[in-house]
Each structure stands twice: as C-alpha cells, then as structure tokens.
Amino acid sequence: MSFPHAIPRPLVRLNQWTILLSVITTWVTGIIWILAISLLANLLGVFFNYNPIIRFGRLFLKKAPSTYIPEDAQQQKFNASIASFCLAGGLLGYLLNWQVVGHIFTVMVAIASSIAIAGFCVGCFLHFQLKQWQYRRSLKKSF
C-alpha cells in the first residue's frame, strides 16, 4: 500500500477528536479499554499506514480529498507516534493501578489534541524543532 503524501484536514481533525473523546470517556466512565480504540488506530497508522478512523472518515467526505487543506502524512505519522506513546502510557498506568501515571499521560494527550483542534499542533512544532536540530548537526559534521 502506498503512503499518501497528504491527508485531508477533516480526517486529521476526526482522529484528534477521537483521541480527545476516548480520553474524556475513559475519565468519565472509568472504562480504561476505551483508550485502546485510539491507541490501536494510531499504532496501525504508524506501523502499517492504515488508520481505521481516517479510513472510515473518508467515507463521509463531501468533496474530493484533494480539495481539502492538506496535512503532511509524514508529520501526521510523527504526531500519531507521540499520541500512541501517551495513550499506551496512560493505558498501562491504569492497568497497573498507577492512577497518577495514567492521568499524567492521558492529560498530556488530551491537552495536545485539544490544542491541535484549536489550531496549534504541538507535535508539528516538536517535529520542526527536531528537523532543525538534525540539519544544524549535519552542518557541523560536514566541516
């Protein structure tokens, strides 16, 4: 399966909302396995380039995917990696009855997804900084 270069913004927002709502629902109901939905979807996206939430959302796009504002697929994969790490940390914390650890990780991913929905992507900022650091490091090695 070829990896797309861009993902339509509404599908990225759908994934962000799914992450946020799964965390909130877990907090409200205490059913920690709800986190596994977002975790599994994002892990599938990271490792197999197949996020079922985004695939399902494609069915509901009203226009051609290319007409929406594009989000870089590589960037979204990086963001999904961070979200997966936080969701896994939260799920593991709750499973081990380490409530503080579970809360720390789920609060981090909830805040990040909320901020992303509002328009600023923390993961994008981190990815940019990482790329800048790698570039500066490569310049030093070339001399």
Give the pTM: 0.90
pLDDT tens-digit readout, 51-82: 999 999 999 999 999 999 999 999 999 999 99
98-121 pLDDT, tens digit each: 999 999 999 999 999 999 999 999
Give me the pLDDT at residue 4, please: 58
Residue with tokens 């965390």: 23
Cβ neighbours of residue 125 under 8 Å, at least 6 residues apart?
Answer: none
The predicted-structure confidence for 14-41, as pLDDT tens digits, reads as follows 999 999 999 999 999 999 999 999 999 9
HSE, side-chain direction, 13 A CA sphere, residue 135? 6
Q: Are 127 and 75 in contact (CB under 8 A)?
A: yes
Looking from the CA of 69 toward its CB, the CA atoms found within 13 Å total 5
Q: What CA–CA distance (Å, rounded) separates 49 from 22?
A: 21
